[in-house]
Amino acid sequence: MKHAADFLVLGSGIAGLYFALRASEHGSVVVLTKKQRAESNTNYAQGGISAAIGPDDSPQSHLEDTLRAGAGLCHRDAVELMVNRAPQVIEELERIGVEFTRRDSTLDLGREGGHSRNRIVHARDATGRAIERALLDAIAQRPSVRIVENALAVELMTEHHLRRSASEQPTCFGVYALTDAGRIEQFFARATLLATGGCGQVYAHTTNPPIATGDGIAMAYRAGAAIANMEFIQFHPTALYEPDRTGPAFLISEAVRGAGAVLRNTTGERFMLRYDERAELAPRDIVARAIDHELKTRGDRYVWLDLRHLDESSVRERFPTIVAACADRGIRLPHDMIPVVPAAHYCCGGVLTDLDARTTIRRLYACGEVACTGVHGANRLASNSLLEGVVFAQQAIEAILADPPPPIGSEFEKIPPWDDSGTQNADEWVLVSHDREELQAVMWDYVGIVRSTLRLQRALRRIELLRDEIEDFYRRTKLTAELIELRNLTTVAWLIARSAMHRKESRGLHTMSDYPDTDDRHWRCDTVIIADRIECRPVR
Ligand code: FAD
Ligand code: SIN
Return mean pLDDT, the chain. Answer: 96
Pocket test for ligand 2, best of 66, 129, 251, 345 (most atoms within 8 A of CB): 251
- What separation in Å is there between the alpha carbon of 102 and the centre of ligand 1? 25
pLDDT at 169: 85
**Strand stretches in 33-107, DSSP E:** 49-50, 102-103, 106-107
Q: Considering only 150-164, 189-203, 259-273, 339-353, which range has the smallest mean pLDDT?
A: 150-164
pLDDT digits (tens, 9 = 90+) for 53-101: 999 999 999 999 999 999 999 999 999 999 999 999 999 999 999 999 9
**Ligand 1 and 50: CB distance under 6 A:** no
**Ligand 1 and 101: CB distance under 6 A:** no
Kindly identify the ligand whose nearest atom is closest to the C-alpha of 389. Answer: 1
CATH class belonging to 2-197+350-413:
alpha beta
pLDDT digits (tens, 9 = 90+) for 127-147: 999 999 999 999 999 999 999
Segment 250-276 mean pLDDT: 97
**Ligand 2 and 46: CB distance under 6 A:** yes
- Alpha-carbon distance 509 to 289, whole Å? 9
- Alpha-carbon distance 448 to 280, whole Å? 21
pLDDT at 246: 86
* Catalytic choice (22, 119, 284, 455): 284
Ligand 1 atom 30: the closest Cα is on which residue? 45
Ligand 1 atom 43: the closest Cα is on which residue? 42
pLDDT at 426: 74
pLDDT at 24: 98
Residues 6+ away with beta carbon under 8 Å from 193: 7, 8, 9, 10, 15, 16, 19, 357, 365, 366, 367, 393, 396
Ordered by start, the domain boundaries in the chain are 2-197+350-413, 237-345
- What separation in Å is there between the alpha carbon of 115 and the centre of ligand 2? 12
**Ligand 1 and 18: CB distance under 6 A:** no
Cα→Cα distances 389→19, 102, 286, 385, Å: 9, 23, 25, 6
Does residue 467 surpass a pLDDT of 60? yes
The angle subtended at Cα 166 by Cα 165 and Cα 172, nearest 5°, is: 130
- What separation in Å is there between the alpha carbon of 334 and the centre of ligand 1? 29
3-state DSSP call for residue 445?
helix
pLDDT digits (tens, 9 = 90+) for 516-527: 999 999 999 999
Binned at pLDDT 50, 70 and 90, residue 8 comes out as very high
- What separation in Å is there between the alpha carbon of 346 and the centre of ligand 1? 9
Binned at pLDDT 50, 70 and 90, residue 509 comes out as very high
- Model pTM above 0.95: yes
Does residue 421 surpass a pLDDT of 90? no
**Ligand 1 and 32: CB distance under 6 A:** yes
Q: Are strands 303-306 and 338-347 parallel, antiparallel or unpaired?
A: antiparallel
Residues 6+ away with beta carbon under 8 Å from 283: 68, 69, 113, 114, 379, 381, 382
Residues 6+ away with beta carbon under 8 Å from 388: 82, 367, 368, 373, 375, 376
Which amino acid makes up residue 324?
A
- Alpha-carbon distance 520 to 177, whole Å? 43
**Strand stretches in 268-415, DSSP E:** 303-306, 338-347, 350-352, 364-366, 371-372
pLDDT digits (tens, 9 = 90+) for 323-349: 999 999 999 999 999 999 999 999 999
Atom index in ligand 1 nearest the CA of residue 47 equals 28
CA–chain centroid gap for 260, Å, is 27
* Through-space distance between the first and last CA atoms of the chain, rounded to whole angstroms: 43
Cα→Cα distances 398→28, 172, 182, 387, 419, Å: 16, 19, 36, 17, 36
Binned at pLDDT 50, 70 and 90, residue 163 comes out as low
- Alpha-carbon distance 514 to 498, whole Å? 16
Q: Are strands 371-372 and 350-352 parallel, antiparallel or unpaired?
A: parallel
pLDDT digits (tens, 9 = 90+) for 308-327: 999 999 999 999 999 999 99
pLDDT digits (tens, 9 = 90+) for 367-405: 999 999 999 999 999 999 999 999 999 999 999 999 999
380 is known as an active-site residue: no
Which amino acid makes up residue 113?
G
Kindly identify the ligand whose nearest atom is closest to the C-alpha of 357. Answer: 1
Q: Can you give 467-516 as a three-state secondary structure string?
A: HHHHHHHHHHECCCHHHHHHHHHHHHHHHHHHHHHHCCCCECCEEECCEC
Does residue 1 surpass a pLDDT of 90? yes
**Ligand 1 and 152: CB distance under 6 A:** yes
CB 372 within 8 A of CB 351: yes
- Alpha-carbon distance 237 to 518, whole Å? 22
Cα→Cα distances 114→29, 62, 236, 280, Å: 38, 10, 13, 10
- What separation in Å is there between the alpha carbon of 30 and the centre of ligand 1? 19
- What separation in Å is there between the alpha carbon of 417 and the centre of ligand 1? 30
Kindly identify the ligand whose nearest atom is closest to the C-alpha of 318. Answer: 2
Residues 6+ away with beta carbon under 8 Å from 448: 203, 235, 292
Cα→Cα distances 336→35, 306, 307, 345, Å: 36, 8, 8, 25
CB atoms within 10 A of CB 354: 17
**Ligand 2 and 255: CB distance under 6 A:** yes
Which DSSP symbol is given to 43?
Answer: G
CATH class belonging to 237-345:
alpha beta
Does residue 449 surpass a pLDDT of 90? yes
- What separation in Å is there between the alpha carbon of 150 and the centre of ligand 1? 16
CB atoms within 10 A of CB 312: 14
CB 222 within 8 A of CB 154: no
Residue 447 bridge partners (DSSP): none
CB 269 within 8 A of CB 282: no
pLDDT at 322: 98
- Alpha-carbon distance 527 to 536, whole Å? 5
- Complete DSSP assignment for 389-434: HHHHHHHHHHHHHHSPPPPP-THHHHSPPP--TT-B--S-HHHHHH
Q: What is the largest CA-CA distance in the chain?
A: 69
Does residue 439 surpass a pLDDT of 90? yes
pLDDT at 537: 96
Does residue 167 surpass a pLDDT of 70? no
Backbone angles phi, psi at 497, to 5 degrees: -65, -40
Pocket test for ligand 2, best of 44, 112, 234 (most atoms within 8 A of CB): 112
Q: Encode 76-97: b = buried (16+ Cβ within 10 Å), e = exposed.
A: eebbbbbbebbbebbeebeebe
CA–chain centroid gap for 210, Å, is 12
Does residue 164 surpass a pLDDT of 80? no
